[in-house]
Amino acid sequence: MKMGIMIIIIGFIMFIAGIIMFYSIELGQIDPLLRTVKNTGTFIGLSGIGVTLAGILLYFINRNELSMAETFDV
pTM comes to 0.77
Cβ-count burial 38-71 (b if 16+ within 10 Å, e if not): beebeebbeebeebbeebeebbeeeeeeeeeeee
The per-residue pLDDT for 29 is 81
Q: How confident is the model at residue 73 (pLDDT cuts 50, 70, 90)?
A: low
17-71 residue pLDDT tens: 999 999 998 888 889 999 999 999 999 999 999 999 999 999 998 887 666 666 6
For the chain, what are the domain ranges? 3-63
The three-class DSSP label of residue 50 is helix
The per-residue pLDDT for 50 is 96
